Structure 1
Amino acid sequence: MASPPPSKPVAALYIGLMSGTSLDGVDAVLFDGQAVQGHVHAPFPAALRDELLALNTPGADELHRAALAANGVARSYADVTAQLLEASGTRRDQIAALGAHGQTVRHRPGGFDGYTTQLLNGALLAEQTGIDVVCDFRSRDVAAGGQGAPLVPAFHRAVFGVAGRDVAVLNLGGIANLSLLFADGRTGGFDTGPANCLLDGWIARHQGHAFDADGAWAASGQVLSPLLAALLAAPFFALAPPKSTGRDLFHLDWLDAQLTPGLVPADVQATLLELTARSVADALQAQMPGATTLIACGGGARNGRLMQRLAELLPRVALQSSVAHGLPVDQVEAAAFAWLAQCFQEKRPGNLPAVTGASGLRVLGALHPA
């Protein structure tokens, strides 16, 4: 009797795809369940980026435009996936699944009937890559009464937690969020407010740059105390966790409503940087006063002036880059969504009710088989 054919080995590799609120493009990582084995970044095509930004606010023919943008995101994700596979010498049949975040254009978990929208045609992505796609991670948590964000604290606990120490992780994307990894094993997390979304928007308007490199333009200005006070008076900052936010609240029209005539643009940029630093520092001191270490990641971790202000505002906290812990700053969130895809495949919950406010643990994501 012939021996049965050997069983196909179970793929142990995952790909994480992340495009955040800053709209700087797509980060793709190859993740083996423990560590990142490869990384590729690709910017969005300019027309797609502009359309995604426009879809953050109400406009004409939104259903049609959103459907086309979701296709565009899928094609961008497929392109960067192909680049990652080629660069790492990996075959697509070695990948168990893609964890794909999609592009957030609305986030209203506490308003209306509660919803969050990430544009991505997961079926098209599965067609173009030939790999199982897990996406739409946030909706199940919102359906269970949660904020749907942040979802990274469970991953941060797995990779950055230190027994017996209060450690915080700060992601500085378009929005800033904190993960609180308490010494006793508890995990917390919430959005603290704007990070790059306002800083990038303001410098794009006045200088035509995509971002303020190293915070140099902000460093050339002076903080406007009355403006800072007006911005910090936004009700979001006084809310207790769980809480999350996005461009629905923090956008240039919101900023414009607080401005008075004659302000120097560089001074406004300095004030926006101070807004981010102050809101993060105030939140950390309020929610984890015993923090010994703050690990920074995301694009804003490369802003030297912002890092300097955080260090000055938190003199008793060791401020470190995620690089020192084995993950470059632009790979952490993509790795988190690869990890969430692994959780989905293994039917493990990916949310933390103490963080999001959901009524219980839930397996997150929806599957589009290859």
Structure 2
Amino acid sequence: MSDELFIGMFPGRSRRGVNAALVNIINGSMGILHAMRTPYPPAIRQTLEQVLATGKRPGSDVSALLDDNLGRFFARVAQNLVREAGLEMRDVRAIGVQGQAVWQEPDGETPVVVELANPALIARGTATTVVADYRSAGVESGGHGAPLAPLLHQHLFSSSTENRAVVDLGETAHLTTLAARGGVSAFECGPGNCLMDGWTQRHLHKDSDSSGNWASKGVVDAGLLQRLLDDDYFSLPAPGAKGLEYFNMDWLDKHLAGASLPPGTVQTTLAELTAVSIANRLQDAAGPDRLLVCGPGAHNAFLLRRLSAALPKAIIEPTTRHGADPDWVDGLLFAWLAQQRLEQLAQDNRQITGAGQAVMPGEVFTPPE
């Protein structure tokens, strides 16, 4: 049925393109009919890299240009996705969009996140309703407006018989804890793949050590690991929201100063840092019976083994075993959020984002008549 099809769109973790999933939602269950990754055109990618390289909030002129260009590009990607699935845009009820983040100030008095991909242009270009800007309602209610993924994690992965947690291993590691009694909490716990990816790019000249093959051949340097864990960040209470503006190669180089270690040893130690920092946060939360893994890090066999070693009492497995492709949980998220918003279903994320009340995340953009 046409009113059961939604598209979830979100930027790739490497900021090099957009991911889109065509999702069938019926009676609360979800299935992906088709999904695709599309790299940004060179002009958009170059502008985006220039904006990010400044380390400053982009000016209004650059933001407006990039916002419009990304909006038009997202619209083309949505059309291609539906065409490849053998359908038409009129079969899709709505598109849920997360824009490309170019600036974050999570710790300010009023949290600021600048996400670009003009939703009005996406609606116009696809002749389809778009739901976007999911954070504002939460911020206006006194919270941070994010994270949003725990809402879906609770919907898909909670259990009444065991305590569970979900870790999204992207550039940073995002945790959701799902208590059997019904409680939910969410926080970041430090680097996910970002330091390992940056080190791999520097020494192997490739994007990532995605399977953990390089890291598996080295040994952990206990001294370096302790220096990294001694960083003030790891003693902060949850949620501890820090991204690439904090965990980057400059941060790593500072902690490596004066050390002379083989690159492989550093890579193995960085994998251990990710595993141990996740385990420490989960042990603070009493530890789960089962840890579900999604995001790019779900394919890193070495990292999963280190997580198992750090959490010996927990069953660790990818979200695939619970009906969700670990690469496309975010696609499900934004399709589901769009559906929930159009059905005017409020989301109680007070425990997650600190909002003062249940809110309906997302602004609706309808195409012109």
- TM-score by shorter chain over 0.5: yes
Residue from 25, 34, 37 that aligns with 1:38: 34
Residue from 42, 47, 64 that aligns with 2:61: 64
Moved more, 107-116 or 327-336: 107-116
Task: Flag the 1:52–1:194 CA change in 2: closer, same or farther, 3 A.
Answer: farther
Task: Flag the 1:286–1:59 CA change in 2: closer, same or farther, 3 A.
Answer: closer
Task: Flag the 1:204–1:44 CA change in 2: closer, same or farther, 3 A.
Answer: farther
Moved more, 247-256 or 179-188: 247-256
Residue from 273, 276, 279 that aligns with 1:278: 276
Counterpart of 1:77? 74
Q: Residues 146-178 of structure 1: CA distance to partner in whole angstroms, max 9, x if unpaired? A: 233221111111111112211111111112111
Q: Could you tell me how far 1:295 is from its partner in structure 2?
A: 0.8
Please tell me whether the aligned partners of residues 344 and 350 of structure 1 are also in contact (alpha carbons under 8 angstroms): no
Q: Could you tell me how far 1:42 is from its partner in structure 2?
A: 2.2
Instruction: Please give the residue correspondences for 1:163-312 in structure 2 after superposition, counting only pairs within 5 Å.
Output: 163-261=160-258, 262-289=260-287, 291-312=288-309
Counterpart of 1:3? none
Q: Residues of 2 paired with 1:333 and 1:252: CA distance? A: 26
Residue from 14, 36, 57 that aligns with 1:22: 14
Counterpart of 1:87? 84
Q: Which amino acid aligns with 1:276?
A: T
Q: Could you tell me how far 1:50 is from its partner in structure 2?
A: 5.2
Counterpart of 1:316? 313
Counterpart of 1:340? 337
Task: Flag the 1:226–1:167 CA change in 2: closer, same or farther, 3 A.
Answer: same
What secondary structure sits across from 1:32 in the alignment? strand
Moved more, 73-82 or 196-205: 73-82
What secondary structure sits across from 2:255 in the alignment? coil
Q: Which amino acid aligns with 1:272?
A: L
What secondary structure sits across from 1:77 in the alignment? helix
Q: Residues of 1 paired with 2:94 and 2:221: CA distance? A: 48
Percent of residue pairs bearing the same amino acid type: 36
Task: Flag the 1:237–1:343 CA change in 2: closer, same or farther, 3 A.
Answer: farther
Asked whether 1:141 is paired with 2:133, we answer: no
Please tell me whether the aligned partners of residues 131 and 363 of structure 2 are also in contact (alpha carbons under 8 angstroms): yes
Please tell me whether the aligned partners of residues 344 and 364 of structure 1 are also in contact (alpha carbons under 8 angstroms): yes
Q: Residues of 2 paired with 1:180 and 1:100: CA distance? A: 25
Q: Residues of 2 paired with 1:277 and 1:198: CA distance? A: 13
Please tell me whether the aligned partners of residues 21 and 197 of structure 1 are also in contact (alpha carbons under 8 angstroms): no
Task: Flag the 1:233–1:323 CA change in 2: closer, same or farther, 3 A.
Answer: same
What secondary structure sits across from 1:123 in the alignment? helix
Please tell me whether the aligned partners of residues 189 and 239 of structure 2 are also in contact (alpha carbons under 8 angstroms): no
Q: Could you tell me how far 1:109 is from its partner in structure 2?
A: 2.5
Counterpart of 2:366? 369
CA RMSD for the aligned pairs?
2.2
Structure 1 gaps of 5+ residues are: 1-8
Residue from 114, 117, 135 that aligns with 1:117: 114
Please tell me whether the aligned partners of residues 149 and 244 of structure 1 are also in contact (alpha carbons under 8 angstroms): no
Counterpart of 1:5? none
> Aligned residue pairs: how many?
361
Q: Residues of 1 paired with 2:96 and 2:83: CA distance? A: 18
Q: Residues 224-276 of structure 1: CA distance to partner in whole angstroms, max 9, x if unpaired? A: 33332232233332232344332222222222222224333222222221111
Please tell me whether the aligned partners of residues 21 and 104 of structure 1 are also in contact (alpha carbons under 8 angstroms): no
Q: Could you tell me how far 1:181 is from its partner in structure 2?
A: 1.1
Task: Flag the 1:305–1:24 CA change in 2: closer, same or farther, 3 A.
Answer: farther
Task: Flag the 1:265–1:47 CA change in 2: closer, same or farther, 3 A.
Answer: farther
Counterpart of 1:52? 48
Q: What is the TM-score of this pair, normalised by structure 2?
A: 0.90
Q: Could you tell me how far 1:182 is from its partner in structure 2?
A: 0.7
Q: What is the TM-score of this pair, normalised by structure 1?
A: 0.90
Q: Residues of 1 paired with 2:271 and 2:49: CA distance? A: 21
What secondary structure sits across from 2:212 in the alignment? helix
Q: Residues 311-355 of structure 1: CA distance to partner in whole angstroms, max 9, x if unpaired? A: 111111111111111111111111111111112112222451101
Moved more, 68-77 or 165-174: 68-77
